[in-house]
Amino acid sequence: MAWKTLDDVALAGKVVLTRVDINVPMEAGRVTDTTRIAKIVPTVEDIIARGGQVVLLAHFDRPKGRVVPGMSLLQVVPALEQALGRKVVFAADCVGEVAATAIAAAGPGDVVLLENTRFHPGEEANAPAFAAEMAALGDVFVNDAFSAAHRAHASTTGLAHLLPAAAGRLMEAELQALEAALGSPERPVVAVVGGAKVSTKLALLGNLVGRVDHLVIGGGMANTFLAAQGVEVGTSLAERDMAAMALDILARAKTAACAIHLPLDIVVARELKAGAEARTLPVGNCPADAMILDAGPATVAVLETVLAACKTLIWNGPLGAFEIAPFDAATTAVARAAAVLTAAGKLVSVAGGGDTVSALNQAGAAADFTFISTAGGAFLEWMEGKDLPGVTALMG
């Protein structure tokens, strides 16, 4: 790999500016999902074990270059201390005297957390002067924020050019998993892409048809493809103005010998609510006053066969309205099939993107996947084949 890891840089006695993504969901002042915090622990422990002083840099939410008290990183300190089992010294600014004083005051083994980098306009602008102010606080830059690597900000790219730079353990694991899934995967490769809208995933579908052997399209996106082919989709969520784009993707898939899998049978209801009366019908038989909310068992059976024939799976987006039973059935069944194959050593399975992770957790399948990315937008951009600035900056 062209980037350095913690094994390649000297850390003893150094102040290590460590970019992490602890942009975690909160409700009533409490972190509701600590996954991203838990995932940075190995990097923090490794740096400390190598004699480095950990100084965490992170963003929280989107304050747009202004100090917004409700977006202070101070509120994640309790969750961070609990995950690390260490004292976290918080500095109310990520540059200047306040930050320098906190770093100097931290005891051995303490972790310093600097305030939200996005409180400064220089962060998102990747302003050289702001990056230099942060760089002045430390000796080494470690980027462990894969999920923010699609942003070319001062703390994700600027710093990498000012200090000796390396990938943290989570960044390393993410990059290795993504390489195994799409860079140089074992074939055949199947991609499962679901979610509501084709319009947000056009670039991704366009990239995938040229790279994978099977492309499963689910969720609201599938309705758009069905409607584009003249199939009745009733009152389903479907982007009718995307018909030409959808047909273009199908044509490109054909040229690239990528098999597209759309629902063969559908689960429909008159409204999307728990306990709604649901019916399973062959695709094409959707009543005009009903909506498609999931793929049916015949589709699931085909997808299980496809998974069993493949060596690599990359998954983004649910196959149906998985938040509301019974419309989670296809997503759950296919996720469990993937988990079983993975646990048996027959499949490399990588998944990412916000809803995807909740869906796989809900299915009880996440633990058996080879790798679950912590990233939302960065995972999508990577699936689109884009270079991620935060990763590129680590290449030197």
Catalog residues that contact ligand 3PG under the rule CB under 6 A: 21, 23, 62, 147-148, 151, 376-377
Mask of contacts with Mg ion, 166-205, x by CB under 5 A? ----------------------------------------
Q: What does the alpha-carbon distance between residue 154 and residue 114 come to, in Å, rounded to a whole number?
A: 14
Q: Which does 137 bind (CB under 5 to 8 A by kind): ligand 3PG, Mg ion, none?
A: none
Least gap, CB of 378 to ligand 3PG (angstroms): 7
**Cβ-based nearer residue to ligand 3PG, 61 or 139:** 61
**Cβ-based nearer residue to Mg ion, 65 or 377:** 377
Q: What does the alpha-carbon distance between residue 79 and residue 309 come to, in Å, rounded to a whole number?
A: 42
Terminal CA-to-CA distance of the chain, rounded, Å? 12
**Cβ-based nearer residue to ligand 3PG, 14 or 201:** 201
What residues are annotated to the active site?
36, 197, 354, 377
Angle at CA 308, nearest 5°, toward 305 and 311?
A: 140
Measure Cα distances from 126 to 64, 146, 154, 159 in Å.
13, 17, 4, 9
Residue showing tokens 């001062």 = 154
Q: Which does 21 bind (CB under 5 to 8 A by kind): Mg ion, ligand 3PG, none?
A: ligand 3PG
Q: In which element (H, E) is residue 377 found?
A: helix 377-383
Mask of contacts with Mg ion, 330-359, x by CB under 5 A? ------------------------------
Least gap, CB of 326 to ligand 3PG (angstroms): 30
Q: What does the alpha-carbon distance between residue 295 and residue 266 come to, in Å, rounded to a whole number?
A: 5
Least gap, CB of 337 to ligand 3PG (angstroms): 28
**Cβ-based nearer residue to ligand 3PG, 30 or 62:** 62
Site residues for Mg ion, 110-129, by CB under 5 A, read none
**Cβ neighbours of residue 259 closer than 8 Å, sequence gap 6 or more:** 213, 214, 215, 253, 306
**Cβ-based nearer residue to Mg ion, 26 or 278:** 26
Least gap, CB of 316 to Mg ion (angstroms): 14
Least gap, CB of 128 to ligand 3PG (angstroms): 20
Q: What does the alpha-carbon distance between residue 73 and residue 54 come to, in Å, rounded to a whole number?
A: 16
CB-closest chain residue to ligand 3PG: 23
Least gap, CB of 324 to ligand 3PG (angstroms): 24
Residue showing tokens 């995307």 = 242
Alpha helices (H) in 50-150, listed in sequence order? 77-84, 96-105, 121-125, 128-135
Least gap, CB of 375 to Mg ion (angstroms): 9
Other residues' Cβ atoms within 10 Å of the Cβ of residue 260: 16
Site residues for Mg ion, 358-387, by CB under 5 A, read 377
Angle at CA 256, nearest 5°, toward 255 and 261?
A: 95
Q: Which does 128 bind (CB under 5 to 8 A by kind): Mg ion, ligand 3PG, none?
A: none
User: Of 157, 113, 110, which is closest to residue 137 (Cα–Cα)?
Assistant: 113
Burial of 129 from C-beta contacts in 10 A (0-12 / 13-18 / 19+):
exposed
**Cβ-based nearer residue to Mg ion, 86 or 153:** 153
Residue showing tokens 């100090």 = 67
**Cβ-based nearer residue to ligand 3PG, 68 or 278:** 68
What are the residues binding Mg ion (CB under 5 A)?
377
